[in-house]
Amino acid sequence: MDKLKKALSILLDENRDIKERLNFLFPRKENNYIVGLGRAVVTPILLVVYPKKYGAWNSRSEEGLKKLNLFPSFPRGASFTDKYIKINSVLNDTAERYSISLWQVDGIFGEITGYSPFEIKMPEEEIFQKEAEEYGIENIYNFGMEKHLEDFLISNWQRTSFGKDYKLIYEEGDLVSQQYPTDIGYIDILAINKKTGDYLVVELKKGKSSDSVIGQITRYVAWIKENLAKTKKVKGIIIVFESDEKIKYSLKSLSDIDLYVYKVKFKMEKEKIK
């Protein structure tokens, strides 16, 4: 807690140059670095405290800038500090050009990328139904169970059978392993082997048809091989609530993809009230 308080006090100290402050907190190899205090946390804090000076750099604003061809280029090995200062300059230029606030810039990027802060909340059933229609989900019950399982795996990664050999991925201090973005969709979980650097692609069936999830994970494995892995190996894992013959036969010829079945156990005990 003391370390966090010190980090925040330095981050918000306008008597220091922003470069000095960010260089103190980053990169990760420094003792000052705090896991979880990445760009998606640090820069929104700056926006809240100094809304006329600093913009938010997160996956939403980055995607929005790229869609508008405004995302700056960086030399290889550029530091977090150098990247943010350049991005913040673009955010401020955009706000000034259109006479809007940095808060509004962030909201506009939300609209552009489909994550608007002003979106009207739909009932949970409608959200599930919408996702079912979009992704060909056959079993909404399993979809709900496996969406929670995805969050559980991330939160308890070190205690899973995968966590022994594979680690989750952080970029600029932010966890990016869950719903890892690619050009062809979002991987449920992407991890890296601690020793070899090989990749692990984890996909939960989430109520989809067997053909759909097989096609999905083979595309993701191929994308990682072509864009990230280079000489490293890529292994795929499908996690399902219930296995079936279709998925088993589909995987017989795919040696680099394994199938896992998860079990949910409930236990009830009578409570003594007298």
- Shared domain for 58 and 16, answered yes or no, is yes
Q: What is the dihedral of CA 103, 109, 112, 118, to 10 degrees?
A: -40
Residue 232, CA distances (Å) to 101, 165, 216, 224, 227 in order: 45, 15, 21, 10, 11
Residue 106 included in any domain? yes
The answer to which of 68-82, 102-116, 130-144, 156-170 has the lowest mean pLDDT is 130-144
- Shared domain for 27 and 71, answered yes or no, is yes
Cα gap 256→260, rounded to integer Å: 13
| Residues of the chain by 3-state class (helix, strand, coil), percent to 5 | 45, 15, 40
Residue 267 included in any domain? no
In the predicted model, what is the mean pLDDT of residues 215-232? 91
Residue 103 included in any domain? yes
| Contact present, 87 and 72 (Cβ < 8 Å) | yes
User: What's the domain range around 228?
Assistant: 124-261
- Shared domain for 32 and 80, answered yes or no, is yes
Q: What is the dihedral of CA 105, 109, 114, 115, to 10 degrees?
A: -60
Confidence of residue 59 (pLDDT cuts 50, 70, 90): confident
Over the stretch 70-121, which tens digit does the pLDDT of each residue have?
888 888 778 888 899 999 999 999 889 888 899 888 888 877 776 554 444 4
- Shared domain for 104 and 217, answered yes or no, is no
* Better-scored residue on pLDDT, 142 or 268: 268
- Shared domain for 235 and 128, answered yes or no, is yes
Sign of the four-CA dihedral 101, 24, 34, 86: positive
Cα gap 101→122, rounded to integer Å: 28
- Shared domain for 156 and 217, answered yes or no, is yes
* Better-scored residue on pLDDT, 166 or 209: 166
Number of domains making up the chain: 2
Q: Evaluate if residue 43 carries a pLDDT over 80.
A: yes
In the predicted model, what is the mean pLDDT of residues 189-217? 84
Pairing verdict, β 234-240 and 166-168: unpaired
Residue 270 included in any domain? no
